[in-house]
Chains A and B, each alone.
Chain A
Amino acid sequence: MSSIPTPILWTVIIGLALGSYGLRFAFIGFMGGKPIPEWLMRHLRYTAVAIIPALVAPLVVWPAPTGGAPSLMHFSAAAATFAAGYLTRNVLIGLGTGGLCLLLLYLAA
Protein backbone atom coordinates (compact mmCIF):
# COMPACT_ATOMS: atom_id res chain seq x y z
CA MET A 1 0.00 0.00 0.00
CA SER A 2 1.41 3.40 -0.91
CA SER A 3 2.43 5.33 2.14
CA ILE A 4 1.14 8.83 2.75
CA PRO A 5 3.67 11.70 2.41
CA THR A 6 4.53 13.05 5.86
CA PRO A 7 3.74 16.74 5.13
CA ILE A 8 0.29 15.77 3.82
CA LEU A 9 -0.36 13.57 6.84
CA TRP A 10 0.55 16.26 9.36
CA THR A 11 -1.38 18.93 7.49
CA VAL A 12 -4.43 16.67 7.64
CA ILE A 13 -3.92 15.89 11.34
CA ILE A 14 -3.43 19.52 12.32
CA GLY A 15 -6.17 20.78 10.02
CA LEU A 16 -8.64 18.26 11.33
CA ALA A 17 -7.64 18.82 14.93
CA LEU A 18 -8.18 22.59 14.63
CA GLY A 19 -11.29 22.24 12.46
CA SER A 20 -12.93 19.68 14.72
CA TYR A 21 -12.17 21.76 17.77
CA GLY A 22 -13.61 24.80 16.03
CA LEU A 23 -16.84 22.96 15.27
CA ARG A 24 -17.12 21.74 18.85
CA PHE A 25 -16.33 25.15 20.33
CA ALA A 26 -18.49 27.11 17.89
CA PHE A 27 -21.69 27.26 19.89
CA ILE A 28 -20.73 26.42 23.42
CA GLY A 29 -17.90 28.97 23.27
CA PHE A 30 -19.07 31.84 21.11
CA MET A 31 -22.80 31.79 20.81
CA GLY A 32 -23.62 31.97 24.51
CA GLY A 33 -27.30 31.21 24.79
CA LYS A 34 -28.22 32.23 21.26
CA PRO A 35 -30.25 29.55 19.49
CA ILE A 36 -28.90 28.03 16.30
CA PRO A 37 -31.19 28.58 13.28
CA GLU A 38 -33.55 25.68 12.69
CA TRP A 39 -32.69 25.30 8.99
CA LEU A 40 -29.01 24.92 9.88
CA MET A 41 -29.70 22.31 12.56
CA ARG A 42 -31.84 20.46 10.05
CA HIS A 43 -28.93 20.16 7.61
CA LEU A 44 -26.32 19.39 10.27
CA ARG A 45 -28.38 16.39 11.35
CA TYR A 46 -27.85 14.68 7.99
CA THR A 47 -24.21 15.40 7.17
CA ALA A 48 -22.65 12.24 8.62
CA VAL A 49 -25.41 9.97 7.33
CA ALA A 50 -24.86 11.43 3.83
CA ILE A 51 -21.05 11.67 3.65
CA ILE A 52 -20.22 8.20 4.99
CA PRO A 53 -22.55 6.29 2.62
CA ALA A 54 -21.32 8.46 -0.27
CA LEU A 55 -17.74 7.55 0.65
CA VAL A 56 -18.36 3.85 0.99
CA ALA A 57 -20.71 3.10 -1.94
CA PRO A 58 -18.02 3.37 -4.66
CA LEU A 59 -15.62 1.34 -2.48
CA VAL A 60 -18.16 -1.48 -2.40
CA VAL A 61 -19.12 -1.38 -6.08
CA TRP A 62 -15.50 -1.09 -7.25
CA PRO A 63 -13.51 -2.74 -4.42
CA ALA A 64 -9.80 -1.92 -4.06
CA PRO A 65 -8.61 -5.53 -3.42
CA THR A 66 -9.75 -6.61 -6.90
CA GLY A 67 -8.27 -3.50 -8.49
CA GLY A 68 -11.74 -2.06 -8.98
CA ALA A 69 -13.45 -5.01 -10.66
CA PRO A 70 -16.94 -5.58 -9.20
CA SER A 71 -16.84 -8.63 -6.96
CA LEU A 72 -19.73 -10.66 -5.60
CA MET A 73 -17.64 -11.69 -2.60
CA HIS A 74 -16.97 -8.14 -1.48
CA PHE A 75 -20.51 -7.05 -2.25
CA SER A 76 -21.95 -9.88 -0.16
CA ALA A 77 -19.69 -9.10 2.79
CA ALA A 78 -20.67 -5.43 2.51
CA ALA A 79 -24.38 -6.28 2.41
CA ALA A 80 -24.02 -8.57 5.44
CA THR A 81 -22.17 -5.84 7.38
CA PHE A 82 -24.81 -3.25 6.64
CA ALA A 83 -27.72 -5.59 7.36
CA ALA A 84 -26.30 -6.79 10.68
CA GLY A 85 -25.45 -3.23 11.73
CA TYR A 86 -28.91 -2.02 10.79
CA LEU A 87 -30.81 -4.86 12.47
CA THR A 88 -28.83 -4.92 15.72
CA ARG A 89 -28.06 -1.17 15.82
CA ASN A 90 -24.60 -2.25 16.92
CA VAL A 91 -21.51 -1.22 14.96
CA LEU A 92 -19.30 -4.01 16.25
CA ILE A 93 -21.80 -6.80 15.53
CA GLY A 94 -22.12 -5.38 12.01
CA LEU A 95 -18.38 -5.28 11.49
CA GLY A 96 -17.89 -8.75 13.01
CA THR A 97 -20.59 -10.28 10.81
CA GLY A 98 -19.19 -8.69 7.67
CA GLY A 99 -15.61 -9.62 8.49
CA LEU A 100 -16.59 -13.22 9.14
CA CYS A 101 -18.62 -13.33 5.95
CA LEU A 102 -15.66 -11.99 3.93
CA LEU A 103 -13.33 -14.52 5.53
CA LEU A 104 -15.65 -17.48 4.84
CA LEU A 105 -16.24 -16.43 1.23
CA TYR A 106 -12.50 -15.93 0.78
CA LEU A 107 -11.74 -19.40 2.13
CA ALA A 108 -14.52 -20.97 0.05
CA ALA A 109 -13.34 -19.31 -3.17
Chain B
Amino acid sequence: MAITTTKSAFWKGFRDSAPFLFMASPFGFLFGVLAAEAGLVVPEAFAFSLTVFAGAAQFTALQLMQENAPLIIILISALAVNLRMAMYSASLTPYLGDAPMWQRAIAAYFIVDQSYALSVVQFEQEPEMPLAQRVAYFFGTNGLITPAWVIATALGALVSTRIPESWGVDFVLPLAFLAMIGPMLRTPAHVAACFVAVAASLPASALPYNLGLIVAGIAGMVAGAQAELWLDRQKAKAEGAK
Protein backbone atom coordinates (compact mmCIF):
# COMPACT_ATOMS: atom_id res chain seq x y z
CA MET B 1 0.00 0.00 0.00
CA ALA B 2 1.49 3.33 -1.03
CA ILE B 3 1.55 6.05 1.59
CA THR B 4 -0.13 9.29 0.54
CA THR B 5 0.21 11.78 3.40
CA THR B 6 2.56 12.54 6.26
CA LYS B 7 -0.17 11.69 8.72
CA SER B 8 -0.86 8.30 7.15
CA ALA B 9 2.89 7.61 7.16
CA PHE B 10 2.93 8.14 10.93
CA TRP B 11 -0.01 5.80 11.42
CA LYS B 12 1.50 3.15 9.16
CA GLY B 13 4.62 3.17 11.33
CA PHE B 14 2.39 3.00 14.39
CA ARG B 15 0.52 -0.04 13.04
CA ASP B 16 3.65 -1.79 11.76
CA SER B 17 5.18 -1.59 15.24
CA ALA B 18 2.22 -3.19 17.01
CA PRO B 19 3.59 -6.77 16.97
CA PHE B 20 6.70 -5.54 18.80
CA LEU B 21 4.50 -4.55 21.73
CA PHE B 22 4.38 -8.20 22.74
CA MET B 23 8.15 -8.09 23.04
CA ALA B 24 8.73 -4.65 24.54
CA SER B 25 6.06 -4.77 27.24
CA PRO B 26 7.03 -8.06 28.93
CA PHE B 27 10.70 -7.15 28.72
CA GLY B 28 10.11 -3.71 30.20
CA PHE B 29 8.05 -5.36 32.91
CA LEU B 30 10.83 -7.86 33.63
CA PHE B 31 13.36 -5.04 33.83
CA GLY B 32 11.14 -3.30 36.38
CA VAL B 33 10.81 -6.47 38.45
CA LEU B 34 14.54 -7.19 38.44
CA ALA B 35 15.47 -3.55 39.05
CA ALA B 36 13.24 -3.47 42.12
CA GLU B 37 14.74 -6.79 43.29
CA ALA B 38 18.14 -5.15 43.02
CA GLY B 39 16.94 -2.36 45.31
CA LEU B 40 15.83 0.33 42.86
CA VAL B 41 12.69 2.22 43.82
CA VAL B 42 9.95 2.79 41.26
CA PRO B 43 11.04 6.33 40.21
CA GLU B 44 14.60 5.12 39.73
CA ALA B 45 13.54 2.20 37.52
CA PHE B 46 11.21 4.53 35.63
CA ALA B 47 13.95 7.13 35.07
CA PHE B 48 16.34 4.40 33.97
CA SER B 49 14.00 3.14 31.23
CA LEU B 50 12.91 6.61 30.18
CA THR B 51 16.38 8.13 29.78
CA VAL B 52 18.45 5.16 28.65
CA PHE B 53 15.70 3.43 26.65
CA ALA B 54 17.75 0.38 25.63
CA GLY B 55 16.78 -2.98 27.09
CA ALA B 56 19.92 -5.06 26.73
CA ALA B 57 22.18 -2.27 28.00
CA GLN B 58 19.91 -1.68 31.00
CA PHE B 59 19.98 -5.38 31.92
CA THR B 60 23.78 -5.38 31.53
CA ALA B 61 24.19 -2.39 33.85
CA LEU B 62 21.81 -3.92 36.38
CA GLN B 63 23.75 -7.18 36.48
CA LEU B 64 27.12 -5.45 36.85
CA MET B 65 25.89 -3.06 39.55
CA GLN B 66 24.78 -6.09 41.55
CA GLU B 67 28.23 -7.61 41.13
CA ASN B 68 29.67 -4.36 42.55
CA ALA B 69 31.73 -3.90 39.39
CA PRO B 70 33.70 -0.63 39.12
CA LEU B 71 31.73 2.26 37.69
CA ILE B 72 33.89 2.60 34.59
CA ILE B 73 33.45 -1.09 33.73
CA ILE B 74 29.68 -0.82 34.12
CA LEU B 75 29.55 2.16 31.78
CA ILE B 76 31.92 0.71 29.18
CA SER B 77 30.15 -2.66 29.10
CA ALA B 78 26.63 -1.30 28.86
CA LEU B 79 27.64 1.26 26.23
CA ALA B 80 29.42 -1.49 24.28
CA VAL B 81 26.12 -3.38 24.16
CA ASN B 82 24.65 -0.15 22.76
CA LEU B 83 27.33 0.41 20.11
CA ARG B 84 24.93 -1.08 17.59
CA MET B 85 22.86 2.10 18.01
CA ALA B 86 25.69 4.00 16.33
CA MET B 87 25.44 1.55 13.45
CA TYR B 88 21.68 2.12 13.23
CA SER B 89 22.27 5.86 13.33
CA ALA B 90 24.71 5.52 10.45
CA SER B 91 22.42 3.45 8.31
CA LEU B 92 19.42 5.72 8.90
CA THR B 93 21.43 8.79 7.89
CA PRO B 94 20.95 8.38 4.11
CA TYR B 95 17.17 8.42 4.69
CA LEU B 96 16.75 10.95 7.50
CA GLY B 97 19.99 12.93 7.34
CA ASP B 98 18.43 15.85 5.44
CA ALA B 99 15.72 16.49 8.04
CA PRO B 100 16.02 19.67 10.16
CA MET B 101 18.46 19.41 13.06
CA TRP B 102 15.76 19.53 15.75
CA GLN B 103 13.96 16.60 14.15
CA ARG B 104 17.18 14.61 13.91
CA ALA B 105 18.02 15.47 17.53
CA ILE B 106 14.66 14.08 18.68
CA ALA B 107 14.83 11.11 16.29
CA ALA B 108 18.20 10.09 17.75
CA TYR B 109 16.60 9.38 21.12
CA PHE B 110 14.13 7.03 19.44
CA ILE B 111 16.69 4.88 17.60
CA VAL B 112 16.13 1.37 18.98
CA ASP B 113 16.17 -2.12 17.47
CA GLN B 114 12.49 -2.06 16.49
CA SER B 115 12.25 1.45 15.02
CA TYR B 116 15.46 0.90 13.06
CA ALA B 117 14.45 -2.49 11.68
CA LEU B 118 10.97 -1.35 10.63
CA SER B 119 12.14 1.94 9.14
CA VAL B 120 14.99 0.55 7.06
CA VAL B 121 12.68 -2.05 5.52
CA GLN B 122 10.04 0.58 4.78
CA PHE B 123 12.55 3.06 3.28
CA GLU B 124 14.13 0.39 1.09
CA GLN B 125 10.76 -0.79 -0.18
CA GLU B 126 9.59 2.71 -1.07
CA PRO B 127 12.66 4.67 -2.16
CA GLU B 128 10.56 7.53 -3.56
CA MET B 129 8.95 8.26 -0.16
CA PRO B 130 9.32 12.01 0.60
CA LEU B 131 11.52 13.06 3.54
CA ALA B 132 8.63 14.37 5.69
CA GLN B 133 6.85 11.02 5.37
CA ARG B 134 9.99 9.11 6.22
CA VAL B 135 10.42 11.14 9.40
CA ALA B 136 6.73 10.64 10.24
CA TYR B 137 6.99 6.90 9.67
CA PHE B 138 10.05 6.67 11.90
CA PHE B 139 8.32 8.52 14.74
CA GLY B 140 5.21 6.40 14.21
CA THR B 141 7.17 3.20 14.88
CA ASN B 142 7.88 4.57 18.35
CA GLY B 143 4.35 5.73 19.14
CA LEU B 144 3.50 2.49 20.92
CA ILE B 145 6.84 0.99 21.85
CA THR B 146 8.28 3.87 23.86
CA PRO B 147 5.31 4.41 26.21
CA ALA B 148 4.89 0.64 26.55
CA TRP B 149 8.54 0.15 27.54
CA VAL B 150 8.54 2.90 30.15
CA ILE B 151 5.11 2.13 31.64
CA ALA B 152 5.82 -1.61 31.75
CA THR B 153 9.04 -0.93 33.68
CA ALA B 154 7.19 1.12 36.28
CA LEU B 155 4.51 -1.56 36.62
CA GLY B 156 7.15 -4.27 37.00
CA ALA B 157 8.91 -2.31 39.73
CA LEU B 158 5.58 -1.76 41.52
CA VAL B 159 4.63 -5.44 41.42
CA SER B 160 8.09 -6.64 42.32
CA THR B 161 7.90 -5.47 45.91
CA ARG B 162 5.22 -8.12 46.35
CA ILE B 163 7.25 -11.02 44.93
CA PRO B 164 8.67 -13.13 47.77
CA GLU B 165 12.45 -13.37 47.98
CA SER B 166 12.27 -17.19 47.97
CA TRP B 167 11.06 -17.37 44.37
CA GLY B 168 14.66 -17.21 43.28
CA VAL B 169 14.37 -14.50 40.67
CA ASP B 170 18.15 -14.04 40.80
CA PHE B 171 18.64 -16.53 37.96
CA VAL B 172 16.02 -14.90 35.75
CA LEU B 173 18.41 -12.17 34.60
CA PRO B 174 20.94 -14.68 33.19
CA LEU B 175 18.04 -16.50 31.51
CA ALA B 176 16.87 -13.22 29.97
CA PHE B 177 20.34 -12.66 28.47
CA LEU B 178 20.41 -16.22 27.14
CA ALA B 179 17.03 -15.76 25.50
CA MET B 180 18.34 -12.61 23.77
CA ILE B 181 21.34 -14.41 22.27
CA GLY B 182 19.52 -16.96 20.09
CA PRO B 183 17.77 -14.47 17.82
CA MET B 184 21.04 -12.49 17.45
CA LEU B 185 22.84 -15.41 15.79
CA ARG B 186 21.80 -14.53 12.26
CA THR B 187 24.96 -15.44 10.35
CA PRO B 188 27.96 -17.77 10.88
CA ALA B 189 29.98 -14.65 11.75
CA HIS B 190 27.58 -13.87 14.61
CA VAL B 191 27.96 -17.46 15.83
CA ALA B 192 31.76 -17.10 15.70
CA ALA B 193 31.61 -13.85 17.70
CA CYS B 194 29.39 -15.47 20.32
CA PHE B 195 31.47 -18.64 20.56
CA VAL B 196 34.79 -16.83 20.95
CA ALA B 197 33.29 -14.43 23.52
CA VAL B 198 31.99 -17.34 25.61
CA ALA B 199 35.25 -19.29 25.35
CA ALA B 200 37.25 -16.22 26.37
CA SER B 201 34.90 -15.12 29.16
CA LEU B 202 35.41 -18.18 31.37
CA PRO B 203 39.17 -17.93 31.89
CA ALA B 204 38.98 -14.12 31.65
CA SER B 205 36.55 -13.99 34.58
CA ALA B 206 39.59 -14.48 36.81
CA LEU B 207 40.73 -10.94 35.90
CA PRO B 208 40.05 -8.26 38.52
CA TYR B 209 37.47 -5.44 38.25
CA ASN B 210 35.23 -7.40 35.83
CA LEU B 211 37.81 -6.62 33.14
CA GLY B 212 37.24 -10.12 31.78
CA LEU B 213 33.99 -8.97 30.25
CA ILE B 214 35.71 -6.26 28.24
CA VAL B 215 38.52 -8.60 27.14
CA ALA B 216 36.09 -11.36 26.11
CA GLY B 217 33.78 -8.84 24.43
CA ILE B 218 36.61 -7.43 22.31
CA ALA B 219 37.79 -10.96 21.43
CA GLY B 220 34.29 -11.86 20.28
CA MET B 221 33.87 -8.64 18.32
CA VAL B 222 37.16 -9.12 16.46
CA ALA B 223 36.30 -12.77 15.82
CA GLY B 224 32.96 -11.75 14.29
CA ALA B 225 34.56 -9.12 12.06
CA GLN B 226 37.31 -11.52 10.92
CA ALA B 227 34.83 -14.33 10.30
CA GLU B 228 32.78 -11.97 8.14
CA LEU B 229 35.84 -11.02 6.07
CA TRP B 230 36.83 -14.68 5.69
CA LEU B 231 33.32 -15.71 4.64
CA ASP B 232 33.19 -12.88 2.10
CA ARG B 233 36.51 -14.03 0.62
CA GLN B 234 35.27 -17.63 0.40
CA LYS B 235 32.13 -16.43 -1.34
CA ALA B 236 34.13 -14.31 -3.78
CA LYS B 237 36.39 -17.27 -4.53
CA ALA B 238 33.43 -19.56 -5.12
CA GLU B 239 31.89 -17.03 -7.48
CA GLY B 240 35.21 -16.49 -9.26
CA ALA B 241 35.51 -20.24 -9.85
CA LYS B 242 32.17 -20.40 -11.67
**Chain A positions near chain B (C-beta within 8 angstroms):** 1-4, 8-17, 19-21, 23-29, 31-33, 35-36, 39, 41-65, 74, 77-78, 81-92, 94-95, 98-99, 102, 106
Contacts and interface: CB of A to CB of B under 8 A. Distances in A.
Interface in B55-72: 56-58, 60-61, 63-66, 68, 71
Contact of A31 (B93, B183, B184): B93
Contact of A53 (B82, B179, B181): B181
B189 interface: yes
Main secondary structure of the interface of B (DSSP, over half): helix
B194 interface: yes
Nearest to B50: A17
Contacts of B109: 21, 24
A101 B52 CA distance: 32
A98 B175 contact: yes
A83 B182 CA distance: 7
Given A28-B108, A48-B81, A91 B196 contact: no
Which residue among B101, B172, B225 has the maximum number of chain A CB atoms within 10 Å of its CB? B225
A58 B177 CA distance: 12
A89 B228 CA distance: 21
Contacts of B85: 20, 23-24
Contacts of A62: 205
Contact of B180 (A33, A52, A77, A99): A52
Given A50-B196, A95-B176, A28 B185 contact: no
Interface stretch (B6-14, B33-41, B139-147, B150-158): B33-41
B239 to A, nearest CB: 19
Q: List 5 tightest A-B contacts by C-beta distance, closest first.
A: A50-B220, A46-B224, A3-B39, A85-B182, A94-B179
Highest count of chain B CB atoms <10 Å: which of A10, A15, A27, A55: A55
A45 B87 contact: yes
Interface centre among B27, B61, B83, B179 (most CB of A within 10 A): B179
A44 B63 contact: no
Contacts of B74: 12
B38 A4 contact: yes
A83 B27 CA distance: 19
B211 to A, nearest CB: 11
Given A2-B66, A19-B75, A102 B179 contact: no
B98 to A, nearest CB: 8
A91 B225 contact: no
B168 to A, nearest CB: 6
Interface string B153-170: 000000000000000101
Given A25-B105, A28-B111, A98-B178, A53 B61 contact: no
Interface in B215-240: 216-225, 228-229
Contacts of B107: 28
Contacts of A78: 174-175, 178
Contact of A95 (B44, B179, B184): B179
Nearest to B216: A54
Nearest to A32: B97
Nearest to B218: A50
A47 B225 CA distance: 10
Nearest to B189: A46
